[in-house]
Chains A and B, each alone.
Chain A
Amino acid sequence: MFSTSVLFLIIFAYLMLLFLVAYYAEKKEQKGSNLVSNPYVYSLSLAVYCTSWTFYGSVGKAANAGLSFLTIYIGPTLMAALWWIVLRKIVYICKENRITTISDFIASRYGNSLFLSALVTLVAVIGITPYLGLQLKAIMTTFSIVAGQSEGSGFAGWLITLMIGVFAIFFGARKVDVSERHGGLIFAIAFESAIKLVAFISVGIFVTYGLFNGMGGIFEMIRDSQFANLMTIGRDSNVSFLEWSSLTFLSMMAIMFLPRQFHVSVVENSSYEHIKKAMWLFPLYLLLMNIFVLPIAYGGLLLDEPQKNADYFVLTLPFKHGIPLLALLAFLGGFSAASAMVIVESLALSTMVMNSFVMPALLRMNVMKGFYIMILNTRRVIILGLIFLGYLFAVYIGDFYSLVDIGLKSFEAVTIFAPPLLFGLYWKGGNKKGAISGIIAGFGVWMYTLMIPALMRAGIIGKEGFWADVFHSRMLNPTALFGLEGLDRWSHSLFWGLLFNVMFYVGISIFTSQDAEEERQAFKFVESYSSRMLPARGIYSIEQIEEMLGQYMGLREAGEFMENFLARHNIPRDHISQNDLLDMRNEAEKVLSGVLGSPIAAIIFEDKMTLTETERGELSSSIRQITDTLRLSREELAEANRNLAYLKEFSENIIESAPVGIVTVGPSFNIKYWNREMEGITRIKQSGAVNASIFNLLPWVGKEMFTQGMQGETVVQAPSMQSFKVNINSLKDPAGGFVVIIEDITEKKSMEEQLLHSSKLASIGRLTAGISHEIGNPLASISSLVQELRSLELNSEENVNFAGEALKTINGHIERIVNIVRSLGDFARVSSSEKKPVDVGEILNRTIGLASYDKRFRNIRLIRDIDALPPLKVNQDQIQQVFFNLTLNALDAMPDGGSLSVSIKPAGDFIEIVFKDTGAGIDDADLERIFDPFYTTKTPGKGTGLGLSICYGIIRDHNGIINVKSRKGEGTTFVIKLPVSSEK
C-alpha cells in the first residue's frame, strides 16, 4: 500500500512529466521536426480509445460475461478496413472546410445549420458525461485500492478531478488556436498509450507466467471450473450472438463518432498517408492490449477473487501477491488510460460547446469587448465544468453501474450521429430537416431505453406513480419497447434507436426539400473529390466580400486576404470572373470558420447577422489579437521583401544606366551579369552573354588580368582596333567572382593622339622662324655659288679648284637642309602608341638638335649632363614631345639669352630628367595651375595652354611624375621621374 500523499505526489509528477513531454514535442515541431507528425504517433494517439474501461473494465467484463469484451476491439478493427474510404474522405472534407468538430461537420453538411450543430453538441455532452464520469470513477476507486482504503476518499476524488482539469487546460487551452491542432498534446497522448500498454502487458505476464503455468495452464483450469461458460458465447453463455453483433456494431460507430476519436483521427491528422499505416497499427495495438485480458480475468477467478471486483484484478492481483511496485505501475497505466480520455474528450467537447453555443450567444448578446480573452476563459470554464459534471455523475450515479455499462451507454449515444454523417457522405438527398428529426428521434429512444432505466435504478426516478406505470406498461416499457422482448438492452436500444433515426432521416429527407445552401453543401460533401462545378450560390462582389471579411477580422487583414488570393490565382482585380468570385467567397468563409466555427461563418456570409459599427469595431479588434503575431511576422517579412526589391531595382537601374560596361563573372569566369552598355559595346545581348565564358565573348581580355597581382586598370586594344580601359576587381562574396568594368576609350584615345599631333605641329610652328633661317641661309649660299659656277670657265687650275670647293660647300648645305627636313619630318609624323625600349639620352639629344634650329638658341648656353643608362621602355615620340615642349618653354622664358641645363641621371627605381633654365621664372599663383589644360601665362595668340598639360598626361601615362620648381626672376626647374619599369 502507498500513502495518500505519496500517491498524490506520484500523480502530480506523472502529470508534470506528461506536460513536459507535450512541451518538448511542441518545441520540436516548431523547429520543423516531424516528431509529432508521423504515422506511429498518429496510431498511438488513436489508442486514446482504450480508456480505463479497457484497462480495468475489460477484465471485469471477461470475468462476468466472457468473451463479449472483445467486441469493443473487434469493431474498430473491422472499421479500420474502411478507413481509407470513409475516414480519408472525412479528413479531406474537414481540411478543405476548416472543420474542427463532429458537430460542425454534421452542421456543415446540412447547410451550415447552427441549430443542428447545437443539437449534436447537446447529445454529445449528455451522452459523454457518463463516460467522463467512468474515468474519474476508475481513478478514484483505484486510488483507494492502492492507498489501502476500503472506500474512495471524497477529497481525493475532488482533488484529482481538479488536477486533471487544470492539466487539460494547460494541454489544450493555453491560447486560441484557430486550427484546433495540438501537436504537443497528441504526442503526450501517444506516450500515455505506450505506458498503459506496457503496464497492462507487465501485469499480464506476471499473472500468466508468475502465478500460473502460462496461457495453456490457465485456460485448462478455467475449462474445468465453474466458470467454463465464460469461454463461449451463445446459448450456453451470458452473451447472445445478437448482443455480440450489436456490441461489435456499437464499437464500430464509437471509433468514428466519439468526439475524442473524431478529434485525434480527423482534426489532428496531418497526412493521409498516416491513415494507411494506422489501418493495421491501431488494430495491432488493440490486439496486444487484449492478449492478457482473459488470463488476468480467469486467473483472478481461479485465485478466488470476488467476481464483482473483477474490474480491478489488474491492481489487486499484484498487490495481493507481494509486488506493490507492479501494482503501482498498473495504477499509473490505468491513470494514463483515464486521464488521456478525460483531457482529450473535454477539449473536444469544449470546442463543440464553444462553436455551437458560446460563440453564437456572445455575438447575439453583442458582447464584443475583450472578445479574445473572453472566449479563452470561457473555454477553460467549460473544460472544468464538463470534467466536474463527469465527477458528479461518478459520485452520485456511477456506483450503480460497472465501467462497461457506463461506456456502452456513451457508445449508444454517439451512434445517433451515424445516419446523418454516413448517409450524408454518400447521399445528396439527405437534408437538414431529416437530420434534425433523425437525431432527435434517436436521442429520444436512447434516453428512454437506456437512461431512464439507469435513473430508475439509481432511485432518481421513483418506482411508483404515473411515470412508473408508463414505464412498466407493455408498449412503453423502456427495456421492451412496443412489446419487443428477448433482446439484451444494448441490442434493444440499438435496434429501436437506429430504426427511428434512419426512418425519420430518410423519410423526412425524401418528402421535404433542400434549400440552396443545403444543396451546395450536399454536393460539396458527397462529391468532395470531384472537380465539377458547384451550383452557384449568391454571388457577392469583390468589394462586398472584402467588406464582410473586414467587419470581423479588420480591414487590413481583409485587404491582405484579397491581395493574396488575387496574386495566388493571378487574377487582375478589375477582371475577376464569376467563378473566381465564388472561389474567393468560399475561401473567405473558410478563413472565418477557422476562427468562429463554420455555422457562424456561413451565417455571416448569408448576412443573417448584423452588428453595429461599434460592435464590429470591437469584435474585429479582438479577433485581430488572435492573428496578431502571425500578421506581424508577415508584415516584417513583407517589409523586408519590399526593401529588398527596391534596393535590387535601384541597384539594377544604376548599373543599367551606367555609361561604362559592367560585367560580373563567377569563379569559373562564366558571365553572371551583362549590362546595357556592354550590349552596345559588343552588340551581344544579355541573354546571349549570361553563362558564357568571358574569354569567348571578349578574347582581348586575358586570363592573366584576373590574377591577384594583375587586377586593376589596363588599357587593351581589341582586334577591331577599338581601345578599352579594363578595370577588374574581385567580388567581396564568399562564392568568389569578379566585376569587370570596361570603358570604350577608342574615341578618347584618337582625340588624344590628334591633340598630341596638333601639339607637335604647333611646336614645329614655333620653330618656323628659326627653321626658315636655318634653311634660308644655306639656300642663299647655294644660290650664290651656283650663279658663280655658271659663269666660271674651267680653263685654269685655280678655277677648277674653286669649282671643286664650291660643289663641296653646296653638298654640305644640301645635307644640312636634308637633315633639318628629315628631323622635322620625323618629329611631325603621327606617333604610335607603342612603348619600346629606347635610349632616353638619345631622345634628349635629338630633341635639343631640333630645338637648336630656333634662332633664340644661339643666345643660350646649353649644359648637358647625360649619364649612360640602359634603354627605358617608353613611347619615344611622346617623350620627345615632352622634352621639346620643355625646351621651347625654356627658350620662351629667356628671350635675351641665358643658360639651359639638361641632365639625365638614375634615382633609385626611377630615371630623373631635369630641365633647368635661368629664365623669368613662374609666379607662385601660376605654379599651381601650370599643368591645367588651356592655362597659359602668354599673351593671347602666343600659346594654347595645352603644352604642359599634354606633357603631364604623357608622363602620367608612363607612370612617371613631373614636378616644377620656380621663383620669379630666378628661373624654373622641371623634374621628370620615369620608373625604370614603366610598363604595368
Chain B
Amino acid sequence: MKRDIWIFLFIVGFVLFNWPVISIFKYDLSKYLFLVWIIFIVLIFSVTRYSGKGNKGE
C-alpha cells in the first residue's frame, strides 16, 4: 500500500479534527466529531481493503 495514501489520509484527518475546521461546527461539535470519526474509520477500512498488498519497502 502506497505510503502517500496514508500520509494524505493522516493530514486530512488532522485537519478535520482540529482548528480551524472544528470551530466551524462548534455548536454541534459532538455530532460532527463522531461523524468524522466514523467516516475516517471507514476510509481507513476501505484503503486497507482495496489497496494491493504493500511492499515491505515503501
Give chain A interface residues in 465-482, CB to chain B under 8 Å.
none
A732 to chain B, nearest CB (A): 49
**In this assembly, does A812 line the interface, its C-beta being within 8 Å of a C-beta of chain B?**
no
Instruction: Convert B19-58 into 0s and 1s, putting 1 for each residue whose CB lies closer than 8 angstroms to a CB of A.
Output: 1101100110110011001101110110010000010111
| Chain B residues positioned under 8 Å from A277 (CB to CB) | 48
A199 to chain B, nearest CB (A): 21
Interface residues of B (CB under 8 A from A): 1, 3, 6-7, 9-10, 13-14, 17-20, 22-23, 26-27, 29-30, 33-34, 37-38, 40-42, 44-45, 48, 54, 56-58
A84 engages B6 (CB within 8 Å)? yes
| Chain A residues positioned under 8 Å from B41 (CB to CB) | 77, 280, 283-284, 287
21 contacts between A and B (CB under 8 A): A67-B33, A74-B33, A77-B13, A81-B9, A81-B13, A82-B6, A84-B48, A232-B26, A233-B29, A234-B26, A241-B19, A245-B18, A248-B17, A248-B18, A276-B48, A279-B48, A280-B41, A283-B44, A287-B38, A529-B57, A530-B57
| Chain B residues positioned under 8 Å from A81 (CB to CB) | 6, 9-10, 13, 40, 44
Cα A284 to Cα B38 in complex, Å, equals 8
Cα A85 to Cα B11 in complex, Å, equals 14
Cα A279 to Cα B10 in complex, Å, equals 12
Cα A276 to Cα B54 in complex, Å, equals 10
B58 engages A85 (CB within 8 Å)? yes
- In the complex, which of the residues A77, A234, A236 contacts B40, with contact meaning CB atoms closer than 8 Å? A77
With A84-B1, A529-B57 known as contacts, the answer to whether A291 contacts B19 (CB < 8 A) is: no
B2 to chain A, nearest CB (A): 10
Interface residues of A (CB under 8 A from B): 67, 70, 74, 77-78, 80-82, 84-85, 92, 219, 231-234, 236, 241-242, 244-245, 248, 276-277, 279-280, 283-284, 287, 291, 294, 529-530
| Chain B residues positioned under 8 Å from A276 (CB to CB) | 48
Cα A233 to Cα B26 in complex, Å, equals 7
A244 engages B22 (CB within 8 Å)? yes
Cα A294 to Cα B33 in complex, Å, equals 12
| Chain A residues positioned under 8 Å from B40 (CB to CB) | 77-78, 81, 283
Q: Taking chain A's interface residues, is the majority helix, strand, or loop, or is none over half, making it mixed?
A: helix
Cα A760 to Cα B32 in complex, Å, equals 119
B37 engages A77 (CB within 8 Å)? yes
| Chain B residues positioned under 8 Å from A85 (CB to CB) | 3, 6-7, 58
Q: Which residue of A lies closest to B1 (CB)?
A: A84
| Chain B residues positioned under 8 Å from A529 (CB to CB) | 56-58
- Most A C-beta atoms less than 10 A away, residue of B23, B44, B57: B44
With A280-B45, A280-B48 known as contacts, the answer to whether A78 contacts B10 (CB < 8 A) is: yes
| Chain B residues positioned under 8 Å from A284 (CB to CB) | 41
Which 9 interchain pairs have the tightest Cβ spacing? A529-B57, A241-B19, A280-B45, A81-B10, A280-B44, A81-B9, A232-B26, A78-B13, A276-B48
A74 engages B17 (CB within 8 Å)? yes
A238 to chain B, nearest CB (A): 13
B37 to chain A, nearest CB (A): 6
Beyond the given pairs A85-B7, A234-B26, A287-B34, 10 more chain A to chain B contacts, judged by CB atoms under 8 angstroms and listed by A's residue number, are: A67-B30, A78-B14, A85-B6, A231-B29, A244-B18, A244-B22, A280-B41, A280-B45, A283-B37, A529-B57
A397 to chain B, nearest CB (A): 33
